[in-house]
Structure 1
């Protein structure tokens, strides 16, 4: 997107955040900036350092959710991607392994057992 358009949008959002009519409270712009930063830093294909508790929380929640949605991952592999049995199983195992590697140290400790059990079930 053109930089001038982005600057105008940022200024418009900033101005709205400073008005008394803003439902989220005057000065809430820093929250919007934090959300944008979090979204930029939360890309599965890019491994970036998580600098804030919010970034760490979102990254961990995303990775953890994969362990609670194994049937959805299997559906993705077999139905949506049309993979064979072995290929689909390896796809799901690789996805879960990547997700586990991205967890914070604290979350790895907590989810280690679940990760191992899911991987054991998948064989």
Structure 2
């Protein structure tokens, strides 16, 4: 799959210190991720499909919780995608990879500052 990507966009990135006492009385957060797509344009003449990949995720760590939403416009060259279900799992992973990298980068920098120690490397 040949892609032309636009710059990643950080829609939301939120760091919270864990409050374990509060979590005892309420439900503790859970780690999870969801990737969604929005088809934007199908250029039949040039065989280009434009879509937005949206990553929404929560990362629960011993010391903190991260909530993030990162998106990116991509242009699939030489192919018209009519429905998202036409994308294979490896193609979905390829589209989402830069968004996961952005969450990793942001988390490393924020945790380094917030915790005053080496940043946390997320492993996905």
TM-score by length of 2: 0.29
Higher helix share: 1
The structure that has the greater radius of gyration is 1
Which of 1 and 2 has higher RCO (CA within 8 Å, sep 6+)? 2
Higher strand share: 2
